[in-house]
Structure 1
């Protein structure tokens, strides 16, 4: 084979060589094939008799592949080649023998032995490195002419381009535990590096902070979806059969005690009242005539009929009074839009409106099933409503109900809480409305994170063991 110099940059040969080398490495099925393909590309590019690629395995250099598809027993084989590679790796510099460079002198003993033993014209070893860490070496052998300075520079550029791909191929074939130990070794090396002062102090501070989080008691809160309800609700029903004549309020309206909310039609009741008045007058007149005649029996009969008519008239008056629905207290209408039912018939006891006291509220929280065991009556917390994001309200747990709700595919328990009479509540009272939603957080006793996590893990393990066994 005739040796040939490396292609010049001006001709674009190096760009093509880098592209071809990267393509051959990427197309390789595994690391061994990638090493052999890259060595063959370099041999063809640089006109070398043989190109070998070695890799650092701990403190040992091992030949991993040869050019031109040459087969070799790589474990323990080619000791002279491995020694020459290790010589360049130890010096972290490219070693060329013979060399026309006038730089710093390098140790070339192993390369000289290889040059004389195999009758070579030139030997060049380029270390493979990334981020300051040397992972291997590429050694090229020529039989016709030595390597020039521009050959060394071109090969160094080519190696620096392909080395990250080879490292990636190698790392992908490593088991996970080897990759983990490798990262730990790198971290340990950085830890002992005198220049890594920031790393050591950062790790110490992080460890101290983690220890503090695990040992120092920290506050803990249970978050739960919350909504606001009235302290009580009054259902306004139809007092009698009739027709809806007028509606004066809608849901959300604030009402005062004694305010008329809705009216039923009273035409039929007015007619009944007039009829009862006429009957009463008739029986009273008949009673007066019988009394004047001295007919006591007839007078008693007429007097009884007059009393009956008077009672029926009072009933009609009472029914007329009940045709108007009146607010029993100051509050807010929370249900019942009757504006679309004007003129519709209603039956006695039909629900028309629902009222809630205007300044009395309760908080209903939906706590997750896993958090209920840690909650108890009397615990405090804070509520933030979506309508009032700048006014957190404090509350205390008043009751843990056994009622469950299926929300988002999970069971939640309803927790009833009472708002504390604080200045923040007094400022927000005029803006509060039943039905407002938000997020409540119930405060639990402070405890270290380590204890909290250990308790949760132990509970999960006990439950899982019970379910599996």
Structure 2
């Protein structure tokens, strides 16, 4: 048994035993069976049932020889402790006079005209005391409810349902347990919603759980309305039903809750332990004919529900458990030193980070081969083009005029050639033939120029540069770059490695790339090569390393920047933490000495 918790197997035994003794019609047999269960459950040395009818008297007892040996007059001490607990109406833990480590655990109840208590005699462990008190409250609540609502013949408690409720005490997280608590209540009552509130020592009501809501936000209007409604119900002495013929029907708070929560019917059950209110349960129905026949069932379960709710609220939340962690017992210094050394010498993956930028693997430049006038531009940067796509056209009117002039001169030379040949002038004929050849060569050159008037893409890819729309009608020079086209199915990343990290890097190392434009994704590749000569970037010397990777979807564009993580290998954690400070210290010492 752990402090403040109940183990599920012990709870199952409790439920089965209660279901067995609750069927006993004879009062003496019932009390004897109840004491046997209580003593066996907590491994006590003895137990008694005491009632106050005219005076404190023992109704039933089960005391071992060991318990009787702890006190010269054990029964007198039992009656005295019982009277004190009944008068204060609170649980009492009192040591015996002769045996100080032996304790009397007194659990009183006060239901209508029935006042009494359960007293257990045992030597408890301090770590188990909270759980023992919770067990005792459950048993005392069961006994009190039996005296208040005697079960009719053939009637029994739903032990399966009780087991499901009390098993919640074994939950490690309070919020999860409260959510399951509301779900069980909703299923049992057949209602639409359930609200659970806890009443503090100052009487303040706080909303703790709502069905189907993992964490209650106290700032919402719905939560505030539930809180006011629960506070209104907890001041009542018994079960509250709304609407009803009583004066409570005129409560403006309940009317506001019915309108604001869009509910037709409410049933509120205040929960108390030994006369002290611990919480309120509110059942809500959207149907005005909501089932409120669960009242008798709730009356039977009231002490169990009260004890379970109190136990759940004593459990810490996950946040409270985290905040309490530093207050736990600290490990010894040798253990701490061993842990620190182990962590410091433990080898971890060593990665080097470097900025990177995307560049195409190949780039093709398109430039005119002759001077001319830019007539028309058909593409813009960012367009996807195929091999042979027309990018721009140059003006060919001057070439056409020049072609007409040369053609006319050639025709003239042909006529002269024919006339000189007819007259037999061999020298002039030869000169005319040479002129014809010269004009043919000029025409061929013009034809080649005309073929170059159309600029096309040599490869499939993306147009990286060439915003020449404003230059239409203007002159362009021979060899001037007008367009850049690059394939993007496979890209290259250029890593700018700091000079101090180059010694750790070698080709073939696995590299993970993450770019600012796609922070949620990463690309992987291997280092291909490291340019042996450093470059000046950002006022520092860096060495450029390249990594190629697939870009099938075309998401990455040239110029995108990001971070590269190069897996160098494994190094001790302390080496990774002290590497840069150590190098800085060495550099400082070199400057000083």
* TM-score where L is the length of structure 2: 0.42
CA deviations over 1:360-415 (Å, ceiling 9, x no partner) = 421111223432332222222111122333431112222333333342xx525142
CA deviations over 1:287-321 (Å, ceiling 9, x no partner) = 23333444332222111110000000011111111
Q: Select the residue among 361, 381, 404 that pairs with 2:535.
A: 404
Count of residue pairs brought into register by the alignment: 268
1:440 is the counterpart of 2:569: no
Instruction: Report the counterpart of residue 348 of structure 1 in structure 2.
Output: 478
Deviation at 1:206? Answer: 6.7
Sort the Cα spacing of 1:453 and 1:295 in 2 relative to 1 into closer, same or farther, 3 A: same
Sort the Cα spacing of 1:454 and 1:433 in 2 relative to 1 into closer, same or farther, 3 A: closer
Sort the Cα spacing of 1:446 and 1:344 in 2 relative to 1 into closer, same or farther, 3 A: same
Residues of 1 paired with 2:335 and 2:446: CA distance?
86
Matched residue of 2:442: which SS? helix
Q: Select the residue among 399, 417, 420 that pairs with 1:287.
A: 417
> Which blocks of at least 5 consecutive residues in structure 2 are unaligned?
1-324
Q: Select the residue among 408, 415, 429 that pairs with 2:544.
A: 415
Aligned-pair Cα RMSD in Å: 2.7
> Which blocks of at least 5 consecutive residues in structure 1 are unaligned?
1-194
Instruction: Report the counterpart of residue 67 of structure 1 in structure 2.
Output: none
Deviation at 1:451? Answer: 3.0
CA deviations over 1:258-298 (Å, ceiling 9, x no partner) = 11111221111111111122222222233233334443322
Matched residue of 1:199: which SS? coil
Is contact 1:362-1:416 (8 Å) kept?
Answer: no
Is contact 2:376-2:394 (8 Å) kept?
Answer: yes
Instruction: Report the counterpart of residue 522 of structure 2 in structure 1.
Output: 392
Matched residue of 1:232: which SS? coil
* TM-score where L is the length of structure 1: 0.52
Write the mapping of 1:215-230 to structure 2, written as runs, cut at 5 A. 215-230=345-360
Q: Select the residue among 315, 319, 333 that pairs with 2:445.
A: 315
1:368 is the counterpart of 2:492: no
Residues of 2 paired with 1:202 and 1:267: CA distance?
95
Q: Select the residue among 278, 290, 303 that pairs with 2:433.
A: 303
Structure number with the bigger relative contact order (C-alpha 8 A, sep ≥ 6) is 1
Is contact 1:398-1:418 (8 Å) kept?
Answer: yes
Instruction: Report the counterpart of residue 382 of structure 1 in structure 2.
Output: 512
Is contact 2:377-2:468 (8 Å) kept?
Answer: yes
Write the mapping of 1:129-208 to structure 2, written as runs, cut at 5 A. 198-201=328-331
Is contact 2:496-2:545 (8 Å) kept?
Answer: no
Matched residue of 1:218: which SS? strand
Sort the Cα spacing of 1:197 and 1:272 in 2 relative to 1 into closer, same or farther, 3 A: closer
Instruction: Report the counterpart of residue 175 of structure 2 in structure 1.
Output: none
Matched residue of 2:387: which SS? coil
Larger displacement relative to structure 2 (239-248 or 198-207): 198-207
Instruction: Report the counterpart of residue 5 of structure 1 in structure 2.
Output: none
Q: Select the residue among 382, 390, 395 that pairs with 1:260.
A: 390
